[in-house]
Amino acid sequence: MSERGMFDLSGKVAIVVGGASGIGEAVTIGAATHGARVVCLDLKHEAAQSVATRAAAAAAPGASCEAGVLDIRDGAAVERVFNEVNARFGSVDVVVCTPSINVRKPILRYQIEELDRVLDVNIRGNFHVLQAAGRIMTAQKRGSIILYSSIRSQVVEPGQGVYAATKAGILQLSRAAAAEFGPYGVRVNCVGPGVIETPLTAPIKADPNWYNAYAAKSVFNRWGTAEEMVGPTLFLASDAASFVTGTLLVADGGWLATDGRFTPPGMQ
């Protein structure tokens, strides 16, 4: 296979969960343009349908995109929808799961209802996706599952304790699944974004001081875009990553690589 062909998704069936906005939207369109038959799933059906229409218009020859509704908190629904996709297309080759929620609040002020809400989506929801995808892929003896962790699985700041714990949990779930599913030819990995301009981070972007402080943590002095997460995700989805599993692919603009923004004298 040529190096160009290694990144080709032609003939693969890809499910993108959370595909109606942000990173999921960009990945949906990117997967279709790289040849996949994509199913874009989200809580918001109209938004998912709009993304699917644009992805289909941009799709490579033989590729396609359609939309559906899914709430990852409902394990039975996840199982049903994934099985329906498998029955219809004959396989599920790639699953990407992007949804997460965050309640920014110090631990001492956290309400149990808020804790439950974050855990329900970030841990329980991702577990449902991992389990449903794993059942199909281990049976067919191939596939790539890509969950979304974060730099917050590695470093944290005040108010991010619960979110960071769930992102670390997602990473550990993916590593365990990589070990369990690997003998069946199934790969499981995480993407670890830095600060990305998405609806989830819109409140931060609206505060210039907060926005600029985060931008300064990147060696590029800027935030990332949703489109910049497409490459890392599709790499993990493709045959180019055939020996990559159980890993966190960090895409953070150098956030974790640097311990400060001060440049010592003579180092300019």
The tokens of 62 are what?
Answer: 């033989």
SS3 172: helix
Task: Let me know if 163 is a catalytic residue.
Answer: yes
CA gap 263, 209 in Å, rounded: 21
Strands (DSSP E) found in the chain: 13-17, 37-42, 64-69, 94-97, 143-148, 186-193, 196-197, 224-225, 248-251
Contacting residues for 14 by C-beta, under 8 A, at least 6 apart: 31, 36, 37, 38, 39, 93, 94, 95, 96, 237
Contacting residues for 157 by C-beta, under 8 A, at least 6 apart: none
**Catalytic choice (148, 163, 184, 214):** 163
Provide the annotated active-site residues: 163
